[in-house]
Chain A
């Protein structure tokens, strides 16, 4: 029972301090689950990350679920996942209500518009990283690029399918997965 509570509060802390997208939670989880607590080895943690990226669902949720399950079964998974998402959910709901209630005030509107722009900028930065990973096999522009021509073709075709063919996200994912099997096996 102690471990479950510890898991919950640790992930609560992790969830609270990770702003800015799924990948932001990872360094914090690593710090807590490998360094601060003797829960996982670095290799086990890395394996979990790999698995989290392979399975559906948001990265932070998967990672929390997997770590929790590894340590304390289903109860651990629930505690870790719940802790991780709780603060974000409460703060999001709070902010939404704040902006709705005070939306007529200039300062509030300005703040929201500012956050909207900044948020798109951040997503753009993530998009660039995702493109780097998919087409060049690295996660930072500072690393030597390894160009993947097949990926570029698939990327271009996907883009065309989305823009010209009006293909939805889910059909696109299914098709690109199939294309992956066709091209990479």
Chain B
């Protein structure tokens, strides 16, 4: 794909994805998977998982981070910038459109009905996404990494331990294990 064309395509794709990001930010993952991995084959499913992990572990909005990472993989730093702008632009546009009638917009029964419907749809999308990503990790049959999944889920959902705490803990554990491994190899 030629650079200019790719750039324009990338911008358009980010506008599109961001326009349909309802219910938080996670649903960009299946969208990016469908377009970048399945349709355009710009990177693999496994690489998408890596980018999602990085986007999640970085501060800010996972949706924006992931879009930027996907953009960088597609068209370098220019792609990253294009994706960043494309990802945040719909917010501004929508806001500009409804800024004069917030309250009317907010209380419209049609809007609320649509949102209620989408809530269930988003839930289904994310559940299916989690299932697929979990399957990919469990398939690797690595004991530690297979255990991290349910433990993190339990700590996050049941114990309501904050995400940052959990990420720092696992990162720390990984580094300690690698260090011990290194020491053992040297002995």
Co-assembled chains A and B: yes
Beta-carbon contact of A120 and B130 below 8 Å: yes
Beta-carbon contact of A81 and B59 below 8 Å: no
Bound state CA distance, A55 and B105, in angstroms? 10
Bound state CA distance, A111 and B168, in angstroms? 11
Q: How many Å from the CB of A109 to the closest CB on chain B?
A: 9
With contact pairs A114-B173, A159-B124 given, residues A96 and B69 touching in the complex (Cβ less than 8 Å)? yes
Beta-carbon contact of A107 and B56 below 8 Å: no
Q: Which residues of A contact B (CB under 8 A)?
A: 15-25, 47, 50-51, 53-62, 65-66, 69, 74, 77-78, 81, 84-89, 91-93, 95-96, 99, 106-107, 110-131, 133-135, 140-141, 151-152, 154-156, 158-159, 161-163, 168-170, 172-173, 175-185
CB neighbours of B16 from chain A (8 A): 170
What are 29 inter-chain pairs, A to B, with CB distance below 8 A?
A24-B163, A56-B21, A61-B61, A69-B95, A85-B64, A88-B58, A88-B64, A92-B65, A93-B77, A95-B57, A107-B178, A107-B179, A115-B53, A115-B56, A117-B145, A117-B146, A117-B148, A120-B134, A121-B166, A122-B156, A124-B130, A125-B156, A155-B121, A169-B20, A170-B20, A172-B124, A173-B121, A177-B117, A178-B117
B-side binding surface: helix, strand, loop or mixed? helix
